[in-house]
Amino acid sequence: MARRDITQYFDDLDNSALEDSEVNSIRFSVDGSHYILDLSDENAAAFRSALEPWIAAAQPAPTSTPQRSTTRQTSSMKRSRAVREWARKEGLEVSDRGKIPARIMDAYDKAQGK
């Protein structure tokens, strides 16, 4: 038995039938919620026109997460290394990786006069 799947497109606003070449998929976001609309040429133009005043007044959002400062990470790594070395000299058990227990951090700070 033969089978044929047929894909039909419809305008999300007025439910009119669209040919594949007539589909305008518009993605947009509002307050962190993301949406997509499949619209005809006419409705896509109307949508874009309706948003023009807000787009003109808006600032483009960053496209990626800003890079964190490596200075803070580097100083944190140096501190962790110093705490581990101190703890081992003091006979305290501490892992080579991962979070250093608060009791060891507190003991280190106390020993450093902090």
Quick: pLDDT tens for 25-63.
999 999 989 999 999 999 999 999 999 999 999 998 887
Does residue 81 form part of some domain?
yes
pLDDT at 66 over 70: no
74 and 42 fall within a common domain: no
pLDDT tier at 11, thresholds 50, 70, 90: very high
DSSP string, 21-90: GG-EEEEEEETTEEEEEEE-HHHHHHHHHHHHHHHHHS-PPPSSPPPPPHHHHHHHHHHHHHHHHHHHHT
Does residue 29 form part of some domain?
yes
Of 34 and 77, more confident:
34
pLDDT at 70 over 70: no
Domain span at residue 85 reads 70-111
pTM exceeding 0.75: no
Q: What is the CATH number of the domain that holds 103?
A: 4.10.320.10
